[in-house]
Amino acid sequence: MPDTTTVLIVGAGPTGLTLAIGLARAGVPVRIVDKAAGFHRHSRGKGLNQRSREILDDLGVGEQAAAHGTEHITLRKYRDGVPVADHVVFADRVPTPETPYASGLLLPQWRTEEILRDKLASYGVEVELGRELTGFDQDEDGVTARLADGRTIEAAYLAGCDGGRSFVRKSLGVAFEGQTEAGECMVIGDVEADGLETGVWHQWFDEDGGIMLCPFRGSRHWQLQAAPEPGAEPSLESFQRLFDRHARRPDIRLANLTWTSAYRINVRMADRFRVGRVFLAGDAAHVHSIAGGLGMNTGIQDAFNLGWKLAYVARGWAGPDLLDTYEEERLPVAAWTLKLTDERLSAVREGVRRAGVGTEAGVTDDVTTLGVGYGWSSLAAGGGALAGERAPDGILPDGRRLHEVFAGPHFTVLCFGTEPPEVGGPARTYRVEDERARAAYGMEGDGVVLVRPDHHIALTAPTAPTAGPARVAGYLRGLGR
């Protein structure tokens, strides 16, 4: 007899783990499999942006991530081995009631995954290692997945979170349009560099190339990035030669190389994020330049969008048409991300040609993704001017943050100048008296705001006390139907 579950997730990186947590905490049976034999300890995607930090807060792991990460990292630029400028990322930003994080968070991907795995385990769900997907079939009733060990898993839905070379995407026959840059290659690795000042992201750029070493809090390892030596494979010896050439620090010897990779810049996107009961998320759906650090973040945010929708349909809280809005909302965001990272990469390339300028040219307000909204979505239709936008944070009368009460698989009804109504369904209501929150939500008079489980505004109803709750109740009753 085959194993069964409601959602089968393929791939246990940050995207798959975020999706699994969202489903598990909503009470949806979920399994997550990965073909790897063990958990890696590689730095890979090394930063959470401001929006992803809000998501990790929602998932209940924001404090753990912050305890291991670095905010406002200093970028130190060198020319001819001499330091010429320091730049602190988002140094001019401070937390506000509406936006609690002024900075992203620098930490290695293995640590992010470890934190997410621990949270998932608290719901009784463990990553199943050594489980490689070899095929699947779907019909109107569900998906039957086949694993390399001969096991079969039947699921209502399957999510491919299995990276840029996604087996799930290829099996679906989904086009992955775009290009791979033929001429430019980068090497990356995790090394120790005793004697180098910690707490600073060192960036040496010369006319003929460069090398960067990024530190991690509480770790002796640095992430090394460089243009490779012609004809040389990534190795400790080739990394040392590159370091000697650009850093001009004969007193520092690189050591304990634990991971290497070489890559060319891929800019590609799937033409569909859903085929029947199968979904694509993260790198399985889109890949792009590392400029701006949006790869892992976009995957986490894909999963946060998809997770509540799968949960609502699986639990019977919404109709099946809700699942169409995942592609409707996230595919345009992926297209925007590809364009943005191309622009940021061009800015970085131009910047490193000039003394005193480095990778900070890739950092703009856009890369926080706090401004990403879904105003075009059918879920925002008729919801008012702010429908689809990220819901600002704020303060409740009891001192709790709005984002704190948003956390979980429920909708939230914010009541301005009105008593919290009974609206039914998976929704919680709160009275808001804070004037800054009122301004942030555009509430000039009495009314209500309905906030989705992913912190986006569903509708605002600055109307009579009875009309606002009626619109909220009608929205929830008609969700996905």
> DSSP for 260-297?
EEEEEEEEEEES-SEETTEEE-GGGTEE--STTS-HHH
Residue 411 shares a structural domain with residue 448: yes
- Domain boundary at 368, 400, 429, which? 368
Q: Are 26 and 6 in contact (CB under 8 A)?
A: no
Q: What was the pLDDT predicted at 357?
A: 58
Biggest CA-to-CA distance, the chain: 75
The low-confidence residues of the chain, meaning pLDDT below 50, are none
Residue 300 in any domain: the answer is yes
List all residues 6 or more positions away from 459 whose beta carbon is below 8 Å from its beta carbon: 380, 382, 383, 384, 387, 449, 450, 471, 472, 475
Q: What was the pLDDT predicted at 227?
A: 87
Residue 23 in any domain: the answer is yes
- Domain boundary at 304, 336, 368, which? 368
Residue type, 445: G
Q: What was the pLDDT predicted at 355?
A: 53
Total tally of structural domains belonging to the chain:
2
Helix, strand counts (H, E) of the chain: 11, 22
Q: Could you give the CA distance from residue 311 to residue 303 in angstroms, rounded to a whole number?
A: 12
Q: What is the pLDDT of residues 379-437, one digit of tens each?
A: 999 999 899 999 999 999 899 999 999 999 999 999 998 877 777 778 999 999 999 99
The position carrying tokens 């499999």 is 33
Residue 22 shares a structural domain with residue 151: yes
Residues in the chain: 481
Q: Residue 469 region, left (φ>0) first, then alpha (ψ -120 to 50), else beta?
A: alpha
Q: Are 371 and 390 in contact (CB under 8 A)?
A: yes
CATH of the domain at 383: 3.40.30.120
Residue 431 shares a structural domain with residue 465: yes
Residue 167 shares a structural domain with residue 127: yes
Q: What was the pLDDT predicted at 306?
A: 98
Vertex 269, ends 264 and 272: CA angle to 5°?
A: 155
Residue 277 shares a structural domain with residue 406: no
Q: Could you give the CA distance from residue 269 to residue 350 in angstroms, rounded to a whole number?
A: 26
pTM, to two decimals: 0.96
Beta partners for residue 129, in sequence order: 34
The position carrying tokens 């008296």 is 433
Domain that holds residue 288: 3-69+107-178+266-352+359-368
Residue 364 shares a structural domain with residue 390: no
Tokens of 350: 């131009």
Q: What was the pLDDT predicted at 427?
A: 93
Residue 344 shares a structural domain with residue 465: no
